[in-house]
Chains A and B, each alone.
Chain A
Amino acid sequence: MGVEICVEGLTKSFGHQVIWQDVSLTLPAGEVSVMLGPSGTGKSVFLKTLVGLLRPDRGSVKVAGRDITKLREHDLYEVRKLFGVLFQDGALFGSMNLYDNIAFPLREHTRKSESEIRRIVLEKMDMVGLIGAEEKLPGAISGGMRKRAGLARALVLDPEIILFDEPDSGLDPVRVAYLNQLIVDLNAQIDATFLIVTHDIASARQVPDNIGLLFRRELVMFGPREQLLTSDEPVVRQFLNGRMQGPIGMAEEKDAAQVQQELAQLGDSAHPDTPGSREITPRLLPGPGITRPPRWQAIAGREAELRRKEVTGA
């Protein structure tokens, strides 16, 4: 079973520049959450703070009841064993081939025999579709493969919490779809707590249980997927629909008058309920070969219910 992460009043700044302040949220155990936000809002910094790579100025991060921000270095290394992290570019060790990369945590932390390590590594490589690429060096493979290898390495110690730093950046849409399916399948199989940091709206719409949105140095909203997808909050609406009209500007936030004007124009030109804007996208479910735990059976039931209503309603 996954572990709950409880973040309270978290504030981080570099010098005089505040990255975000007063972020409070709870990542429920075993659920998939997505953290959205425009580029440069400190999503990666948030992720690094969760694993204790960066220390916040204020606030606490409780993982399994222990406050990460107050732990000594030695205890921190212990708590980190609960985590699996997929970094943006996979962060593979450049001097080792894929097999050694994925075997690395096992060799460092367990006393397993080499044959047992081989079994586990090949199992994880199979999971992410990398069989046959064991001997390749990270420099010689595509970004998508590096990401999948990074994911396999993050999975190898059976973590309770998995953090994904932009799993979909730099991948083609088909691979993103596969990766999303993989994430959902994994959640059904290993029951860990997932946090995905991204700005890919399509993934955010169909993968998670919960969505959070970072903007203007604070957490605008964090809640169940349905709540955000149907929200009237201008920032949330703008971001989830990927349009220019709204508070988020190209470089900085826009001033209030301009936002009002843009939103009014949008109301004039288009029907307020443009198709697709407030609709709840069907949720991605675990693939047919995966045995669904009770949590996913309930989700699948609710989804089927929702679709049935839609059909009869239309």
Chain B
Amino acid sequence: MRLSPAGALRHSGNLFLMALDVVRALPRRPFQAREFIQQAWFVASVTILPTALVSIPFGAVIALQIGSLTRQLGAQSFSGAASVLAVLREASPIVTALLIAGAGGTAICADLGARKIRDEIDAMQVLGIDPIHRLVVPRVLASMVVAVLLNGLVSVVGVAGGYFFNVVLQNGTPGAYLASFTTLAQLSDLWAAELKALVFGAIAAVVASYKGLNAQGGPKGVGDAVNQSVVITFMLLFVTNFVMTAVYFQVVPQRG
């Protein structure tokens, strides 16, 4: 592949074009309910276990860091508040993003890429069926729904992990931990995190579908497409995360 500024621009242009196509195909009937449920189940089944397993140590690390930090500052009573805040606001959307892109996105990209190089996508178009409507829309929706649910899972597991490490291993006081729970965090933090997850799910699925549907050059092409889709998704997700966080702090008044 040749690298040129025009090529990069064209690819980003095509990516946005496809995102627009997906939005336009969203309300079109008949809605592919069967494909949506299958895909949602599929994406969930490849992400749930790794997500849970990743979020336990993630919550633990945050708890350890905050536990020692609050002890150094003499603010142990705030350790619960800080760790909930960290898990809820940043850790859970990021973990969700990593897994939805790493496990869900790659699976979508590999699946569509394999179909593309076997001419299945062409055959579908020739049979008069729009692959965006038939294949991509259900995948994007499934990935969004699963991302939102995963975000909830990560929050719960992360907070529980934080509690366990702080209270059991660092000899924190359970009462203080629980009492300070809501001193800093508020409900809008959860909504913001869920919104982030929703957007991350959409981005991951659109990028994976775009790369999959444009795979070419045989089996190696599919491998390349999967690789590129993960890299591009990660970059986009972290930028989006930054922008959404910045906007959130401007829009929602903070406690304290």
Contacts and interface: CB of A to CB of B under 8 A. Distances in A.
Interface stretch (A59-67, A74-82, A216-224, A301-309): A74-82
A161 to B, nearest CB: 11
A85 B128 contact: no
B119 A87 contact: yes
Contacts of A85: 123, 126
A53 B120 contact: no
A81 B128 contact: yes
B55 to A, nearest CB: 32
Contacts of B224: none
A89 B128 contact: no
Contact of A77 (B114, B115, B119, B130): B130
Given A53-B125, A80-B125, A94 B130 contact: no
Interface in B164-179: none
A248 interface: no
A87 B123 contact: yes
Interface string B92-130: 000000000000000000000011001110111111111
Among A48, A73, A83, A91, which residue has the most Cβ atoms of chain B within 10 A?
A91
Interface residues of A, number: 24
Interface of A: 48, 51, 53, 73, 77-78, 80-81, 83, 85, 87-89, 91-94, 104-105, 108-109, 150, 153, 157
A73 B114 CA distance: 24
Nearest to A88: B119
B127 A105 contact: yes
Contacts of B123: 85, 87, 91-93, 150, 153
Interface residues of B, number: 14
A122 to B, nearest CB: 19
A202 to B, nearest CB: 25
Contacts of B122: 48, 53, 87, 91
A270 B209 CA distance: 59
Nearest to B30: A108
Contacts of B118: 89, 91, 94
13 contacts: A77-B125, A77-B128, A77-B129, A78-B128, A83-B126, A87-B119, A89-B118, A89-B119, A93-B123, A94-B115, A108-B129, A109-B127, A109-B128
Interface in B38-70: none
Contact of B127 (A80, A88, A94): A80
Given A77-B128, A91-B123, 17 more contacts: A51-B125, A53-B126, A73-B130, A80-B125, A80-B128, A81-B128, A85-B126, A87-B119, A89-B118, A92-B123, A93-B115, A93-B123, A93-B124, A108-B129, A109-B127, A109-B128, A150-B123
A53 B128 CA distance: 11
